A and B are shown apart, each in its own frame.
Chain A
Amino acid sequence: MWSDLLPAFFRGTWITLQITVESVALALLVAIVTGIARLSRYRIIRAAAAVYVEVFRGTSLLVQLFWLYFALPMFMNVQLSSGAAAVLALTLNYGAYGSEVVRSSILAVPAGQTEAAIALNMTPYQRMRRVIFPQALVRMLPAFGNLQIELLKGTSLVYFITLADLTYEGMILRSYDASSTTEIFVLLLIFYFILAHVLNSAVRWFERRAAAGRS
């Protein structure tokens, strides 16, 4: 029985992993840019970033996914592939959550650090790049680790737009053989659990590296 199930599970795992890694990378970028934009000295930039964050945090991920996949084509005449819609929705949603982490971590760096950097005649870019951000990053990592697990769990929603991820493969298998429903779902949960732990240990490793030489 296991030999019938496992190939489909591995196919699904591959898709889930791809979506997760792509979305995590893009969401990280969006989070850093938005988080810094929310602390900009220009009011318009701050406001635009705040609107983006509140809209994507205030609505549901699944609603955003449906909107991008079903509603956007009617509005703009572009049909995103299911993979692109999935990555875009996950990126925008978790990018918004991540930007709050970036923002609060930057604010938590003591003001004396900024003052010292100014006294050393650093430009605003140098201050952020060399002094503030490296210190803020150490504070961000644990929260990013949690968000990454949330994102992994969020990828299961791509099942709704018929992208063949782990959850979707499980549901297909179940439709062939309803009597092994329990085995399929238990196996699904175990697969996600293992994936989460692999991602988690990656972040832990990175945390240790980033904290090296600091106390």
Chain B
Amino acid sequence: MAPEPLLRVHNLTKRFGQLVAVNNVSLEIAPGEIVGLIGPNGAGKTTLFNSIAGLYPPDAGRVTFRGCDTTGMLAHKMCKLGMSRTFQVVKAFDDLTVEEAVRVGAYNRHSEKEVAAKVEEVIAFCELTEIRHHRCGDLGLAPLRRVELARAVATEPVLLLLDEAGAGLTATELSGLMAIIRRLNQERGVTLCVVEHVMQLVMGICQRIIVLDAGEIIAEGSPAEISKNPNVIEAYLGKRAVL
């Protein structure tokens, strides 16, 4: 008997005026998975992502998370329920230190007494110990991404949505990030859904990949299957690349 899916998207459609950004998309994420969501620019990944995360309510369809209907639910309620997200354009707490930023997230599930311990734990886990007292506004992109991730990790999510967490990172920074994500999944059982353009990250850590193009799912499968799928190649590189 397969375990109950953690997240279910039923026939989700989102329009912006005349443009149908996401067209009747359905998908499932099982607990413990790392699922990748990829597709060429304008495929609708971010729109789908934001519709699931509650940034804008979909025009049609439903989102079910842990058995509850979370369609269009407010962000903070979803966080309490166990779904956290990061942002594509980092929304940093400029004037706070790294430690303070993580603490904000830690308060999600911890009381005053426990919160300090949680903060220590997350800082160690996400390798932020050297920069813990630095002001977020002074950090470079890679450490900032890690802080963004750490904040979300501190909320103890059951499902973590990462929005282009790998963009703009060097190869070393990328493998560091991937290691943290892997540990999150294996050591803590956090389910992840990763929207990405950086193929190294997607192929490296995702167990299952869903490919979007023009608002619809065109392929789904393991990294090996996806990289050989002609529809996928065509979507990214055009018809002639397949031939």
Answer whether A and B are interacting partners. no
Using a CB–CB cutoff of 8 Å, the interface residues on chain B facing chain A are none
